[in-house]
Structure 1
């Protein structure tokens, strides 16, 4: 499990790092005004579908169903089931893309009511329509990735999403060289989104095993309706973090630049969330499903314990680091071109509040697989819907008082509502069990993270406080030194507290059976 987790995390990390490069260029090209607000509102519509389908969401629903069919009916029945899923999902998303395209002005008005009556609305409609072809490609891409994950083949699915960011980066480099205006650049980038989806589909189709999903056909029989009835709630629940950001964007659309500030702040949250949350969701569902099939309670306890340790061990230092270094990180990544110091300040404030919800998001990613593996998608769905209601109410209240920062606080509050509800329901329904090792390690992990956070908080002001004396490369180098020092201190504290050491970590990777990881 550890080795598979590292494979998915590495691919996700590479994708997120390329995403930072993409967003830095996007900030330079579009700034944080009406053009950027319109583009990012449209991009979030496509992105939430991308995240809802991919990065572990459909994986959480399809993997248990496919494994069940294979175990009860054999490989041929599993291939036929996969072929029906692939054909049906693809056809449904093509139809949905056409339907949404026709109703796009209404869709954007619902998602960004503050745009109504302004030119920003038409900008967003034009951008969103150009991005819609991505939805047609997202269906088969998602099913192929889930089938590979179900077979323990994580490498290709972990790294194929890089093509999305690579395509956008190449186009934006050309736009920066030609110095195009923001409105034209937004249209070109929007059109590239569809092309990026096609590239990802092609790379998966070329490597697909023809016997994995055959015959390919569209079906709405009882078996398919039952699968979709279970899959859709799970997919919505898995997209909780993105739906909370959409909720915040609805409120923020009434405030100039607020949609952009929240978007860029959330991009920094998605790095640790992607590394930990998506990897846990992708790897833990098959692990728990196999353990439940074999009634292996020890394997279930071990999987839940290790996932919780990984979640807390990577999320807590990331949360504290983002809070302590929010301003310099935002300046280094985004304050270029049309992105002003005022935009950096607004984004950094939003980031601090969003970071408080990061542990909750990762806990949800860790807790949800326990429900999905038991074919319970209703509980995570209701928890997500409740979180959206809480986030909307809190964002409306706090947004009036504190602007974009208040909206970010509302989003964090919604995330914690989701995590707490899942914790209570899981404990009452089937009980969460962690082994003695996890009970010993978790408090020490938290203590090590607090020690690292205190170090960063105390030294960041001294090292980076003299902003006027630090410019460009010097500020970036100082920030890199601080981050590296924080990582080193955290690792040393984990070793001193007896949580883990380098030998134990390497041994965990090597102990993974080679057959569990196939390219």
Structure 2
């Protein structure tokens, strides 16, 4: 499982790094004013729907059902079921895309009430309509990727998002080079998003193995399909919890100039560690847990849950501390260019420091949810998500009125932790979480190593702030990358010294020679 996790991790990491480049260029092109707010509000809407489908969400229902049919009724029955899912999801999304296009001004008013009565609302509606074709193609692409992951072919799912970011980067560079007007540039980017969806689907369809797994292609409204979709929709909502929280924050932030942009760019930095863990959990852990449950193998079940929890906590804690300590330097390096000002960087860094506190909660949800999904229980994670979103919006509304954009971020943090606690309690009461004794011993050591690394980073930044500020951009860049690399090396050394894992153990795990994190 570790090897599959690392395959997905590497692909997701490359995609997220390209996403940072993309967002840095967009910030330089559009800044953080009304045009950027309109574009990012539209992009956030499309992004949430895209992630309801992708990044492991549809896997939560499709993979267990497909594996069960293949095991008990054979490959032909599984392929016929997949063909019905593919046809039904594709046709449903085409209809939904058309309806959304007509209703977009109303939808944007609901999602960004602060835009009402301003030209920003029309800008956001125009951008969103140009992006919508992406959604019509995202559904079938996701079904094909889910089938690939069910077969253990994780590389395709891990690296498929690269086209999306690569295309936006190329177009943004061209727009910056020709000094395009910001409003027209936003429309050009929105059009690119719509086209990229088609390109991704064409690449997947060209792979014959994916098509053979979903045939014949049919649209179905039979009870079987209604039952599947009834389970899939809650799972998709639950998997998109971080994005739904971000949308909730944007609803409140739309009343404050530039706050939508600040929240968006801060949240993008949270999505690097969250995306790595979330994509890997959805793509790798759900199939592993499903096979263990179907085989009745309690040892395999405990092993999968234990490894998932260790990897989740081991990535989330150091990422949280690093983002809190380095929020200012990171935001200035990535976004403070062109139309994105120093004041925008300060506001974004403050929000980032708060949002980082929610990262362990969001990663914990990603680690816990597969235990429900593998049991084909998607409603419990959805209910926890909805509770978290309601708590977040209510508190963001109150705290945002008192503290501005930072108050909105605090509300989102509390909502994320509420979701995690509700889900943990439900799992503990329903079936319990089987954790291996070795994992119980290692988790406190992982926490200790992360705290020590965070303390060293904080001391390094506090002691060198004045010196670094006197250097140019290159000097600050080198300093930041040195801190990040040093923090990673220190954390790895601490894990080794504390007996959690070592370099040789990690290499053996990635090569698949061991079923344990330590080898």
8 A contact 2:468–2:479 mirrored in 1: no
| Distance apart, 1:412 and its partner CA | 1.1
Q: Distance in 1 between matches of 2:467 and 2:244?
A: 38
Aligned 1:143-162 pairs, distance under 5 A: 143-162=143-162
Q: Cα deviations across residues 73-124 of structure 1 (Å, max 9, x unaligned)?
A: 1100000000000010000000000000000000000000000011110110
8 A contact 1:320–1:453 mirrored in 2: yes
8 A contact 1:32–1:261 mirrored in 2: yes
Q: Distance in 1 between matches of 2:442 and 2:423?
A: 23
Q: Distance in 1 between matches of 2:96 and 2:107?
A: 13
Aligned to 2:153, the other structure's residue is in SS state: coil
8 A contact 1:464–1:475 mirrored in 2: no
1:350: which partner in 2?
351
1:188: which partner in 2?
188
Q: Distance in 1 between matches of 2:206 and 2:101?
A: 29
2:9: which partner in 1?
9
2:33: which partner in 1?
33
Q: Cα deviations across residues 252-283 of structure 1 (Å, max 9, x unaligned)?
A: 00000000000000000000001112211211
| Distance apart, 1:237 and its partner CA | 0.7
Per the normalisation by structure 1, the TM-score is 0.98
Q: Cα deviations across residues 273-306 of structure 1 (Å, max 9, x unaligned)?
A: 0111221121100000000000000000000000
| Distance apart, 1:512 and its partner CA | 5.5
Gaps in structure 2 of 5+ consecutive residues: 515-519
Aligned to 1:356, the other structure's residue is in SS state: helix
Gaps in structure 1 of 5+ consecutive residues: 514-519
| Distance apart, 1:467 and its partner CA | 5.2
2:142: which partner in 1?
142
Q: Distance in 2 between matches of 1:144 and 1:464?
A: 49
1:517: which partner in 2?
none
8 A contact 2:104–2:125 mirrored in 1: yes
2:457: which partner in 1?
456
Q: Distance in 1 between matches of 2:466 and 2:148?
A: 48
How many matched pairs?
Answer: 514
Q: Cα deviations across residues 225-272 of structure 1 (Å, max 9, x unaligned)?
A: 110010001110111000000000000000000000000000000000
In angstroms, what is the RMSD of aligned CA positions?
1.1
Q: Cα deviations across residues 198-244 of structure 1 (Å, max 9, x unaligned)?
A: 12111111124132100011111111011001000111011100000
| Distance apart, 1:464 and its partner CA | 3.2
In terms of mean alpha carbon deviation, does 67-76 or 159-168 score higher? Answer: 67-76
Q: Distance in 2 between matches of 1:402 and 1:62?
A: 43
Aligned 1:27-426 pairs, distance under 5 A: 27-209=27-209, 210-426=211-427
Q: Distance in 2 between matches of 1:279 and 1:499?
A: 21
Q: Distance in 1 between matches of 2:208 and 2:168?
A: 25
Aligned to 1:57, the other structure's residue is in SS state: coil
| Distance apart, 1:433 and its partner CA | 1.5
| Distance apart, 1:462 and its partner CA | 2.1
